Amino acid sequence: MKIGFIGLGNMGAPMAANLAAAGHEVWGFDQVDVTVPGVSITPSARDAAKQADVVITMLPNGEILRSVAHDVLPVMQPGASFLDCSTVDVDSSRAVADLASQSALLALDAPVSGGITGAAAGTLTFMVGGPMKAVERVRPLFDIMGQKAVHCGDAGAGQAAKICNNMILGATMIATCEAFALADKLDLDRQKMYDVVSTSSGYSWSMNAYCPAPGVGPQSPAENGYQPGFAAELMLKDLQLSQHAAQTVNADTPMGALARDLYARFVEEEDGRGRDFSAMLPRFEARNRS
């Protein structure tokens, strides 16, 4: 396939490289200078998009996605597909899907889980919203970039799944960190705490796969001085998206709101910016010492 890839950052660059390595013809564009193995860099987003069978975007937020979509949709080939893999608000995804259908193009929202390592290894999970016909068309690309693609429903359903997942993740990471900090105060050994909780009803991905306590459980950013991994500010962004969505549909999400507030304080007033989102643990330790 001919692929246009717009947004070649931490996630987009390895995803595009994997597509090129699998034999697809990939033209890429980013607003900053980049080099990506196997990808021909173009001078504009339009140049990357105009010959493509599929245009993929991996961008920071909904506003940028809307502006890129306005720019490239008019020059895309009739019948081509627009596949947005960024994490953005549901409204922006639906607006872009509407715009694409007006130009007789197929659009999908397909945010991912799996982070930078999953992008490099081609083991991402895609949560997909949009027409089944488009999903089938781009499935070979999902198979290269990821290990699983779940069709969640119509336009915006992929983003809905992503922000619900990350709302759970934010809340369980905070709960795991505050429990470790409480265990410290109760003189409970961290390894014993992990051994019990990881095989008991308090287990979660945050505890079992991404343990915030250094030296306990599998390898995680905690062993690396809490260098991200998944940055606290990206978690804050996703929690803000979930609360925006909850407000839009009048859903009651008190745990999500509290998680958003705690990550906002961590990033904006404490030392969370630039640290992994599991650095909530040293934050609780510091508060418990003061």
List active site positions: 162
Nearer to ligand NAD, 8 or 259 (CB): 8
Nearer to ligand NAD, 23 or 205 (CB): 205
**Rule CB under 6 A: which of 77-96 touch ligand NAD?**
86-87
249 lies in the site for ligand NAD, by CB under 6 A: no
- Tokens encoding 70: 């306005």
**Single residue of 52, 56, 68, 216 touching ligand NAD by CB under 6 A:** 68
59 lies in the site for ligand NAD, by CB under 6 A: yes
170 lies in the site for ligand NAD, by CB under 6 A: no
Q: What is the CA radius of gyration of the chain?
A: 20
Maximum distance among all Cα pairs of the chain, rounded to whole angstroms: 66
- Tokens encoding 32: 């900053």
- Tokens encoding 47: 């140049």
**Rule CB under 6 A: which of 105-164 touch ligand NAD?**
112, 115-116
**Single residue of 141, 211, 234, 241 touching ligand NAD by CB under 6 A:** 234
Distance CA 290, CA 285 (A): 9
Distance CA 55, CA 103 (A): 14
Nearer to ligand NAD, 24 or 66 (CB): 66
Smallest distance, Å, CB 59 to ligand NAD? 5
267 lies in the site for ligand NAD, by CB under 6 A: no
253 lies in the site for ligand NAD, by CB under 6 A: no
Nearer to ligand NAD, 188 or 264 (CB): 264
Residues of the shown chain interacting with ligand NAD in the complex, contacts defined by CB under 6 A? 6-12, 29-32, 45, 58-60, 64, 68, 86-87, 112, 115-116, 230, 234
